[in-house]
Amino acid sequence: MQHNNLYTFKFIAMITIVASLLLTLAATQLKERQDFNIEVDKKKNILKSIGLDVAAMQANTIIEEYKNKIQDVVLKQNGDRVNHISSEDLESVENKSTGQLSYFYENHEYLPAYLASEPQAFIFPVSGKGLWSTLYGYLALDMDLNTVKGITFYKHGETPGLGGEIEKKWFQDNFIGKKIFDNSGNLKSITVVKGKAVDDKHEVDGISGATITSRGVTDFLKRDLQRYFTFLTIHRSN
């Protein structure tokens, strides 16, 4: 009996070691492909935020379209654009509690943005807490830096059919044409209301049964736009 128990223990240990090695090998081999897919998905959503139909695009087409139409932009905290360094030179740091992305270079913090050439638009990363997860997306503004051109969410863990509706076209289309500044030049942002929107300029219809997710979108949109407030106010047109 003791001999059988020892044999069983050795067999289980061997299987565990082999399985661990195989899983480690698979993860290592797949990481490059996974990173590539993540990068393609981000580029896809940046293009989508400016109104391009990317649903049928293959990965190579997305990369080519992005290369032809999108320029990475680095912004100082005072609103100035940085031209002497590129995004490739910067360390990308994500705030784990909010999902906000910052660039760092020689101990200075910079803000990421994107400039689209066709159609023309500025695109800003947005992120924050919903009900169950951190939501990540992109908000595109027309060149007046006031009118919403589009919004996308490319990563979240909200409940399908409820908070998960943020990824649906009907919800995202509600933002198109909305204004982030009021007539006095104050940053009003966009509010996801419970029920039907009343303010045609600054409100969008909420998601039934997803009050906390809707409130989260409202909160982090204004918070993230506030990060770019100086740039927006300096360069926007009325």
pTM of the model: 0.81
Per-residue pLDDT, averaged over 120-137, amounts to 89
Q: How far apart are CA 147 and CA 200, in angstroms?
A: 12
**Is the pLDDT at 140 greater than 90, yes or no?**
yes
Dihedral Cα 161, 166, 167, 173, nearest 10 deg: 120
Higher-confidence residue of 227 and 94: namely 227
Please give the residue that has the higher pLDDT: either 127 or 90. Answer: 127
Could you tell me where the DSSP H helices lie in 50-123?
59-69
Q: What pLDDT, on a 0 to 100 scale, did the predictor assign at position 238?
A: 58
Is the confidence at residue 2, as pLDDT, over 50?
Answer: no
pLDDT of residue 83: 80
Arithmetic mean of pLDDT over the chain:
84
Return the HEC string of 156-222: CCCCCCCHHHHHCHHHHHCCCCCECECCCCCECCCEECCCCCCCCCCEECCCCCCHHHHHHHHHHHH
Helix residue spans in the chain (DSSP H): 2-49, 59-69, 169-173, 211-227, 229-235
Cα of 173 vs its chain's centroid, Å: 17
Instruction: Give kind and range of the element (H or E) at residue 115.
Output: strand 108-117
Rounded average pLDDT over 214-225: 91
26 pLDDT more than 80: no
**How high is the pLDDT of residue 30?**
63
Contact criterion met (CB below 8 Å) for 177 and 148 = yes
Q: By the 8 A CB rule, do 206 and 195 touch?
A: yes
pLDDT at 81: 87
CB 99 within 8 A of CB 135: yes
The contacts of residue 51 (CB under 8 Å, 6+ apart) are 119, 140, 149, 150
Per-residue confidence (pLDDT) for residue 5, from 0 to 100: 66
What is the pLDDT, as a whole number, of residue 49? 93
Higher pLDDT, 231 or 15: 231
With bands split at pLDDT 50, 70 and 90, how would you rate the model's confidence at 47? very high
